[in-house]
Structure 1
Amino acid sequence: MSPFSHWLGVPDIRPSLLAADSRKMKLCAATLALCLLSVVLAEDGGLSAPILAWSNRALISEGEQVSYKVFPDVEQVTTDLVLGVLGQAQGSDFGVHGFPEESLSFDESRKVVVFIGSQLDVADMRSRSDAISNLDGIISGAVSSLALPYTISKGGSIIETVCTKLDSAGIKHEVVGCSAPSDIKADAVTALAEGNTVVIVCSHVEDAMKGTNAGLEAEVEQLKAIQAAVVEADVNHVLIYAIEAKPETGLLATGSKRRSLLQESAPTACGPLCQTQVRWLEGMLAVLFLALASCAGLVCLYVLDTPTRFESPNKDAASQQ
Structure 2
Amino acid sequence: MAATWVAVLAVVLVAAAQAAAGPVTAPAFLWAPKNYGFCSNEAKEVVHYQTISPNSLAKSVLEEGGWSNLVCSKEGSQKDVDVAVLFLGSKLQSSDISKDKQVDPALADTLKLSFTNSEFSMAFPYVAMSDDEKLETSLLSGFAENCEDGSGRNHITYTDTCTASSEDIKNHESMDSIQNLVKSRMGNNPSGQTELIVFCSGGFKENTKSEGELLSELVSVLNKAEAKYTILYASQPYGLLENPSDLPLARYLAEKTNTTKPVLEKCDGECQTKSSLLEGLFVGIVLLIVLISGLCCMMGIDTPSRFEAPQE
- In the superposition, the TM-score normalised over structure 1's length comes to 0.52
Q: Structure 1 pair 207/82, CA: closer, same or farther in 2 (3 Å)?
A: same
Matching of residue 40 in structure 1 with residue 50 in structure 2: no
1:81 corresponding residue in structure 2: 61
Q: Encode CA deviations 1:82-115: one digit per residue, 9 max, x unaligned.
A: 34433859xxxxxxxxxxxxxxxxx955437132
User: Which ranges of structure 2 fall in alignment gaps of 5 or more residues?
Assistant: 1-17, 70-76, 160-170, 244-251, 256-262, 272-283
User: In the TM superposition, what whole-angstrom CA distance separates every residue of 1:147-188 from its partner, at most 9, and x where no partner exists?
Assistant: 112112332403344356558346586223433414213313
Paired residue type of 2:232: I
Over 3 Å counting, the alpha-carbon distance change for 1:200 and 1:76 in structure 2 is: farther
Q: Residues 95-144 of structure 1: CA distance to partner in whole angstroms, max 9, x if unpaired?
A: xxxxxxxxxxxx95543713232233225433342331122112221123
Distance in 2 separating the partners of 1:286 and 1:259: 24
**Aligned residues of 1:177 and 1:184 also touching (Cα < 8 A):** no
Residue identity in the other structure for 2:210: G
Identity of aligned pairs, percent? 14
Q: What amino acid is the match of 2:230?
A: V
1:1-321 superposed matches below 5 A: 39-41=22-24, 48-55=25-32, 56-57=34-35, 62-72=43-53, 74-86=54-66, 88=68, 108-111=78-81, 113-122=84-93, 123-125=95-97, 126=99, 127-128=101-102, 129-154=105-130, 155-156=133-134, 157=137, 158-163=139-144, 165-166=146-147, 168-169=149-150, 174-178=155-159, 179-182=171-174, 183-191=177-185, 194=189, 195-197=192-194, 199-203=196-200, 204-205=202-203, 215-225=210-220, 227-228=222-223, 232-233=226-227, 235=228, 237-243=229-235, 247-248=241-242, 251-252=254-255, 253-255=263-265, 258=268, 289=288, 292-296=291-295, 309=305
One-letter code of the match for 1:238?
T
Task: Write the distance in 2 (CA, Å) between the matches of 1:140 and 1:165.
Answer: 28
Q: Give the unaligned 5+ runs of structure 1.
A: 1-34, 42-47, 90-106, 262-284, 313-321
User: Does structure 1 retain, via aligned residues, the 8 Å contact 2:172–2:178?
Assistant: no
Post-superposition offset of 1:62: 3.8
Report the AA paired with residue 115 of structure 2.
I
For the residues of structure 2 that align with 1:164 and 1:187, how far apart are their CA atoms?
A: 27
Shift of 1:77: 1.6
Question: Does the CA contact (< 8 Å) of 2:155 and 2:195 recur in 1?
Answer: yes
RMSD, aligned α-carbons: 4.6
Whose helix fraction is larger, Structure 1's or Structure 2's?
A: 1
Larger RCO (CA under 8 A, 6+ residues apart): 2
Residues 268-301 of structure 1 show CA distances to partners (whole Å, capped at 9, x for unaligned) of xxxxxxxxxxxxxxxxx99985662351476799
TM-score, with length taken from structure 2:
0.53
Q: Counterparts of 1:258 and 1:289 in 2: how far apart (Å)?
A: 30
